[in-house]
Every structure is written in C-alpha cells, then in structure tokens.
Amino acid sequence: MRVAMFSGGRGTAGIARALLRSPGVELSLLINGYDNGLSTGALRRYLPGMLGPSDFRKNLLLHLDGGDPRRDLLEHRLAPGTTAAGLERLISGPLDYRVARELHVFAGRLRAEPDGLDLADCALGNLVLAGAYLRLGEDFNAAVRACARTFGAPARLLNVTGGENAFLVALKEDGRVLADEADIVAPQDAAAITGLFLLREPLTGRDRAELAGRAPERVRELLARRAARVTPNPEALRALEDGDLIVYGPGTPHSSLLPSYLTPGVAEAIARSRAAARVFVVNLGGDHDIQGLTATDLVDRTLAYLGDPGNERRTITHVLSHRGASGGPAVPRRVAERGHWAGARWISADLADTGQPGTHSGPRTAEALRALLGPTPLARAG
C-alpha cells in the first residue's frame, strides 16, 4: 500500500511511525522547506539560496528511539560561541564517515566565512543537511536524499518543490503582514490569515513599513508582484499519482501544510491520482495561526488552496476527526451528526493519544486510515 502524506515537522510523527510499522506500507512524506525560525533563519541567511532544513531533520528521526546515538546527534544543540574549530573537535568523535564528511564541508565554509552566523542553539542535524547541500552543488533535494540514506530513513522524504529558495509571508484580513514563517507560527491576535505568498526575497524592514497601513487588496497585489518561481519535485508528483492513499496530515496549517498545496502541479497530480481515499486529518491541538477557525474552515481552506473549492474533483474524499473535546479546531455538531461536509464523508473516532495531550494516537489513526481503503490494493486488483 503506497501512502503519500503531507507533513510538517512533528505533527504527523506518531501517525507516520504507526504506518511504517504496518506490513506492506510504503510511505512518502511531502514536506516544504519554508521554516525560518531562530537558528534555522540564521542558517538560511548565512547560506543564501538554501531552504530550511528543520522539518526534514525532524522526519529523519521517525525510526530512531530515544537514546539512539543518531537521534542524539541530529538533535544536539550547539553552545553559544561555537566556532569552526569547536565544530571540528566535535566531529573528531566516533561518527559515521558520511556524517563527518558533511560536517567537515560545513566547517570548511565556516572557516572561510566566519562572520555572519552564530551557531548558538543550532541543531547539529541542520548542519549535516547544510554540509550535504554545499557538497552536492547547493542542490537541496539531493542533500535531503543523501541524508535520508545516511540515517536509514524508512520513509521517502520529499521536498514538494524542485528546491528553489522562497520565503513564506502571510496576509491577515486587516491588511497586516506576517513577514516570515517564524511570525506565522508565533503568538498573534485572532485576526484571520487570508493569504499566503512565496516571495523571491525576504521582506526588509523598509518593505514592511511600505506595506503597513495599506488596504488589504493593495497589499495582496504588491506581495503577488514579488512571487518566487517554484517548480514541483517530480518525485513528489509521482508519489501523489501512484499513491493508494493520500493523507493531508495534521500540523500547523499556514506554515507546514497550506504552503505545500501552493506548489504548481500538486493539485493536478492529486486529481490524476489512483488513490482510493484522500483523507484530511483534523488537528487535535490548537495553533496560533488558526484562532477562531473550525475544522470545517480548515477543510475549506485546503480545498481552496488546491484549486477545488467545491470539491468537484474529489480532492478530499474523507475527513477524519477525533470524537470528543481535544482543544483543537471545533467540529460543528451538525457536521458530526450528518457525517459529511463539502462532498466528503466525515468520520469521528477516538484518535487521541492519552499520554500526550493534543497529539494523535499513531496506531488508532493509522488503523482508521487503513480501514478507509477496505480491501488492500492487491485484492482490489484481483
């Protein structure tokens, strides 16, 4: 069974682990690289042209248990004041030669250009990806593939785009701009986000000042003029087309999920897909970027971003939500009772992980997803 799941950093981790433990499942995770927070943003500024590696690093951990030295390596945070020499000393320990190679490449860049990057609190795994990026001719997708092989990732980690650099910006209903991904996921007022844009260059302080106070439609027009040109990753399109199951996974919608749907060709690949079920999984927890939005609002936004607002192409066939209170987006009672929304079947089930409030139980959610397919793809083929 081939599963293609749109993912962020950690929101789908439990579901992905459970799917990977299911016999016969081939899992592809479709991720974007627009993360831009703190040390990740600093790394992107230091290496102009590089996308954010953090969500890819987090998904390299899926199969690694706590205490696994590879997990400890990827998640290790560097101390303030770490230099190229300090990084080299760290590398001198017993490391896989492929990991050491990537870190040596990055340390070489740091020795040649020591100014412009503070390594404080930087995850070492991000530098492994950055070193691979430099070694492979600044090809971000090649770096992801190389690191997935190095760490034995059982899922295919696929950037949704061809690797072109772009910067995520959001527009609120009153015309205010959230200038980067870090602002989008940060605490904010309840004014709704009404637009997402992928820009060629990050907004400067002057840019923000020029946009401030303008009418929303004028801001939308000005941001659209700055649009980056991104192309789809052919591997991601094939994963969607060939999947038996497409999952719009849980995660921070306006940073992890909806931007991925802006990728040219993604909506068309879903429309061409052989997938028997295309399932939207409702978040269990709340996020700063979706204050006041219901579960049906998020379904509607997903359909709109995928160019199918009426769901006429069956972009979403099922919606899977937790039965009971969760602290996440509310499910309107009438929808739960009728069992459908926007032409999709609405299914409520016990999906919560009682040990980790606000997160999905991987086994129960994976079981619910598999049940939507009925007979296995092989059985359907006869």
CA 226 vs. chain centroid, Å, equals 23
CA-closest candidate to residue 258, choices 199, 230, 299, 292: 299
Report the DSSP pairing between strands 2-6 and 26-31. parallel
CA distance 201 to 269: 28
CA-closest candidate to residue 322, choices 343, 348, 287, 299: 348
Asked if residues 252 and 185 have their Cβ atoms less than 8 Å apart, the reply is yes
Tell me the domains of the chain and their CATH numbers: 2-32+230-380 (3.40.50.10680), 38-152 (no CATH), 167-224 (no CATH)
Cβ neighbours of 132 (radius 10 Å): 26
Residue 165 has pLDDT above 70, yes or no: yes
Residue 375 has pLDDT above 90, yes or no: no
Q: What is the pLDDT of residues 348-373, one digit of tens each?
A: 999 999 888 889 999 999 999 999 98
Q: What is the pLDDT of residues 2-18, one digit of tens each?
A: 999 999 988 999 999 99
Token pair, residue 317, equals 């066939």
Give 25-57 as a DSSP string.
-EEEEEE------HHHHHHHHHSTTPPP-HHHH
Q: What is the pLDDT of residues 115-124, one digit of tens each?
A: 889 999 999 9
Report if pTM > 0.85: yes
Measured CA to CA in angstroms, residue 157 lies from 6, 60, 105, 256, 262 at distances of 10, 8, 23, 14, 19
Residue 378 has pLDDT above 60, yes or no: no
pLDDT at site 39: 92
Residue 382 has pLDDT above 60, yes or no: no
Q: What is the pLDDT of residues 228-264, one digit of tens each?
A: 999 999 999 999 999 999 999 999 999 999 999 999 9
| Averaged confidence pLDDT in the chain | 94
pLDDT at site 281: 98
CA-closest candidate to residue 346, choices 323, 327, 329: 323
